[in-house]
Amino acid sequence: MKKGQFPDGFLWGAATAAHQVEGNQYNDWTEWEKENADRLAAAAEKKFGNLPNWPDIKIQAQNPHNYISGRACDHYNRYEEDFDIAKSLGHTAHRFSIEWSRIEPREGEFDKKEIEHYRKVIAALRARGIEPFVTLWHWPLPLWVAEKGGWGWRSAPEYFARYAELISKELNDVHFWLTLNEPNIYAGHVYIKAAWPHGSKNPILYWQVLNRLISAHKGAYQAIKKNLPLAQVSLAYNQSYFEAYQGKITNRLLKKIADWFWNDYFLEKINGFSDFIGLNHYHHSRINYGFNRNENKKVSDMGWELYPESIYYVLMGLRKYNLPIYITENGLADADDLQREWFIKESLANILRAIGEGADVRGYLHWSLLDNFEWDKGFWPRFGLIEVDYATRERKIRPSARAYAEICKTNSLIIDSHS
């Protein structure tokens, strides 16, 4: 056993996103949910039937109601209670998103009441000594933007920058800003897989949207910095660890291409428009004459491989940007909380190792504070440090959250040398 110490001032906490936790949204996702709930329920067995936990999730996954975000966790009304818990767990930072469709439900009409709501959310965090990380767009779009083609609409970045400008003027005590959440995951799910609103398999549009999101980020970055020159602005970007199996030449070549395209293209394009790196990390892809040839020794409830070493490699790769790094998401679906404590500790041990080798990591925000609405999968994947009973909206702290709290409170990790 040895004790690993994190750097002074390291920020600890968790993340959420408006659509997944707040409840009562009205945006392009809510409309899509209504249109697609029956289809998603009918396809569940084909998609998830081979997961080991299928017997446990089957009833929920085959129920169309599961695919409607509805009241979600009712976090919109219960944020104070949720932040009380976060504080009791030693969190010193919290990432959440502002819902564009609430702020600007119709083009050019900004809702003062909703701005006030988020002002109170930020004040509630500050009152508890928790540093806010504000995301401006975590996937749903106002209906008027969606009707014009979403990010396929040429002017979308300008309107997004206008929204960023307004919010950063109104909420001017926020220091950490994230313009976009995972543009690469979003564009892929919408325009390659056609799995999310308003999906179409269209590689040309995919490429246009990805590049439009680059403009959206840059425009929003400039708008925020104009109002708040000292603010720290970035985005939450999803990177995977691509491993070239056995160093074979074909695998190394595929890794180079994947690293360039998936991990670096976007970040390189926004060079100079980013004050830190916001890293969302979940996936390892072992390349052996093809991607995702993983061993899958341990998997989450969603069948995703649990491979905590991967974050070390991703952080090593990020050193070249010479920017501070905040981990803005990292976590797993684990309803029974059997693997979360292990996963958090192993991931943090790997983060410490990366810090020891020069990665300037300054914070860790676990995904997620609460169980929440997992997009096209609905409510059965449970990512929360806090369990939510969707019948009563009651919160229950999972044991892993208490183990994580020990780390947050002591700014250190006991590393079990046997693991």
For binding to ligand BGC (CB under 6 A), which residues are involved? 17, 20, 181-182, 185, 238, 280, 329, 367, 374
In terms of CB distance, is 29 or 367 closer to ligand BGC?
367
In terms of CB distance, is 182 or 243 closer to ligand BGC?
182
Both structure tokens of 61: 């996954």
Contacts with 174 (C-beta within 8 Å, 6 or more apart), sequence order: 122, 132, 134, 168, 228, 231
Q: What minimum distance in Å lies between the beta carbon of 181 and ligand BGC? A: 5
Dihedral through CA 141, CA 145, CA 147, CA 148, nearest 10? -140
The 10 Å Cβ neighbour count of residue 35 is 9
Q: What minimum distance in Å lies between the beta carbon of 335 and ligand BGC? A: 14
Instruction: Find the DSSP H helices in 192-248.
Output: 203-227
Q: Which has the closest alpha carbon to 151: 51, 70, 247, 219?
A: 219
In terms of CB distance, is 384 or 413 closer to ligand BGC?
384
Pairing type for strands 394-397 and 386-389 reads antiparallel
In terms of CB distance, is 110 or 291 closer to ligand BGC?
291
In terms of CB distance, is 251 or 330 closer to ligand BGC?
330
Q: What minimum distance in Å lies between the beta carbon of 80 and ligand BGC? A: 23
Q: What minimum distance in Å lies between the beta carbon of 369 and ligand BGC? A: 12
Q: What minimum distance in Å lies between the beta carbon of 324 and ligand BGC? A: 20
Nearest-5° angle of CA 213, CA 215, CA 217? 70
The 10 Å Cβ neighbour count of residue 279 is 24
Output DSSP code: residue 232.
Answer: E
In terms of CB distance, is 6 or 343 closer to ligand BGC?
343
- Report the distance separating Cα 204 and Cα 387, nearest Å: 41
Q: What minimum distance in Å lies between the beta carbon of 179 and ligand BGC? A: 14
